[in-house]
Amino acid sequence: MHKVLLPVLLAAALPAQPPYDLLLKGGRVIDPKNGVDGVRDVAVAGGKVARVAAAIPPAEAKQVVHAAGLVVTPGLIDIHVHVYPRPEIQSIAQDGSVQPDAHSFRAGVTTMVDAGTAGALNFAAFKARVIDKARTRVLAFLNIATAGMGTGKEDDLAGLDADLAIRTAKEHPGVIVGFKSAHFAGPGWESIDAAVKASKATGLPVMVDFGYLNATRNLATLLEDKLQPGDIYTHCYAGHRAELTEDGKVNPAMIHGRKRGVLFDVGHGAASFYWYVAAPAMRQGFPPDIISTDLHGGSMNAGMKDMTNVMAKILNLGATLPQVIAMSTWKAAQSIHRPDLGHLSPGAEADIAVLRVDRGTFGFLDSAGARYPGTVQLAAELTLRAGKVVWDLNGRAGQDWQTFPYDKKVWTK
């Protein structure tokens, strides 16, 4: 009898463990899906969002991170990056892809979507080398060209294999989130038509980097006829494909495309975002639906710095902070058909960004190196991926060094 009661008595004597692993306290929570914009606490347990409320007692969490004066948002989703370094390319200088974890968390990004670097012939290698090993959640738009991007084969009509793309997407549900048509300079609509065929067979969206215009291919036909509702026109402020008319007005095809349900993505990149396009478009009431970076080796140190830099550009062009957060979280998640992402609903994976909003005098560069003055800048203070702190700019989640339990072993050989 005593042997049975003893463990029960001992358990009763132990102090109760706090129910939450981590508590973000006192930040301005902006969660567009759930209509939240105000001071809230966010509790995390078991890698999931456990509770969002106005006042959660600190004693209920094992660790408390004070976020007063900061903005707490769902982890940012960058739907246009290039993160598949090709094994066949021997020179780093010739390979534009970057390592996802080296760039994601420090900008508050917890999900990246590779935009067509891999095609059906090399997607398995991409998944094994990058997707399955990165701490960042990496998803993909599958290039409709089977060889993928940067191979010189995106104009090869024989490689535009919609049936193989369909099979590959069905083998990787939730990871392949759409199809990419990019840089096509062939004779007609072959790349777009193949991507749309794959889209119709799977229900997944098409992302289009429209490539080059010619006598056959034009923006009006693309946006008013070829693309379907939910498809994504990236590089929407590039200016290379007549996004503005000669008199500086937003091309009516863009307006008609939006009315049909086509989504417009920033896709900043190294040569796809210019103030002379973005500023008048925003003034004329044509904001982007989604913010993304087009992160690659040629863009990351140029006009485009990272996700928070691109978000700040749209903010300084007149969008509100809640709008910019929505473009980078919930709207992005919806565009890739991943409604499990981009929000702080209880039970959702605890991907969270804590952002600092700085006000002052700043300058922002476009893809040409032209400067635009701004008064608001964003920076990622803290990033959580699946409930774990993966970026902490100012040690907000750290323990003071004077009380830290260092391992003081002496190394000898």
Residues 6 or more apart in contact with residue 316 via CB below 8 angstroms: 362, 364, 372, 374, 375, 376
Q: Does 267 map to a domain? A: yes
Residue 69 lies in a domain: no
Report yes or no on 9 lying in a domain.
no
pLDDT in tens, 291-338: 999 999 999 999 999 999 999 999 999 999 999 999 999 999 999 999
In this structure, are residues 308 and 298 in contact, taking their beta carbons and an 8 Å threshold?
no
Say if 179 falls within a structural domain: yes
Cβ 56 vs Cβ 97: under 8 Å: no
What average pLDDT does the structure give for the chain?
95
Q: What are the structure tokens assigned to 196, written together?
A: 């749309």
Give the model's confidence band at 261: pLDDT under 50 very low, under 70 low, under 90 confident, else very high: very high
Is residue 30 included in any domain, yes or no? no
Residue 270 has pLDDT above 90, yes or no: yes
Nearest to 342 by CA among 111, 44, 21, 115: 111
Q: Cα separation of 119 and 100, whole Å?
A: 18
Distance CA(358)–CA(77), nearest Å, equals: 21
Integer CA distances (angstroms), 357 to 76, 377, 383, in order: 15, 6, 15
For residues 295 and 277, give the distance between their C-alpha atoms in angstroms, rounded to a whole number.
20
Q: Report yes or no on 188 lying in a domain.
A: yes
Q: What is the pLDDT of residues 1-40, one digit of tens each?
A: 455 555 555 555 566 899 999 999 999 999 999 999 999 9
The packing angle between helices 190-202 and 162-171, to 10°, is 40
Domain presence at residue 54: no
What's the confidence (pLDDT) of residue 150?
82
In a domain, 399, yes or no: no
Do the bridges between strand 206-209 and strand 263-264 make them parallel or antiparallel, or are there none, so unpaired?
Answer: unpaired
Stretch 394-413: mean pLDDT, rounded? 94
> How large a percentage of the chain has pLDDT more than 70?
95
pLDDT computed for residue 374 by the predictor: 98
What was the pLDDT predicted at 4? 55
Nearest-angstrom CA–CA distance, 117 and 198: 17
Least confident range of 50-64, 87-101, 165-179, 333-347? 87-101
**Domain residues for 252?**
75-348
Ranking 142-151, 170-179, 260-269, 323-332 by mean pLDDT, the lowest is: 142-151
CATH number at residue 112: 3.20.20.140
Q: Is 165 helix (H, G, I), strand (E, B) or coil?
A: helix
Task: Report the distance separating Cα 83 and Cα 116, nearest Å.
Answer: 10
Residue 95 pLDDT grade (very low, low, confident, very high; cuts 50, 70, 90): low
Instruction: Show the tokens assigned to 84.
Output: 């598949």
pLDDT given at position 274: 98
Q: Dihedral of the CA atoms 295, 301, 306, 311 (nearest 10)?
A: -110
Q: What is the DSSP string of 208-234?
A: EE-----SS--HHHIIIIIS-TT-EE-
pLDDT at position 115: 98
Tokens 């991507």 belong to 195
> Domain tally for the chain?
1
| pLDDT tens track for 115-134 | 999 999 999 999 999 999 99
| pLDDT tier at 285, thresholds 50, 70, 90 | very high
Collapsing DSSP to helix, strand or coil, 334 comes out as helix
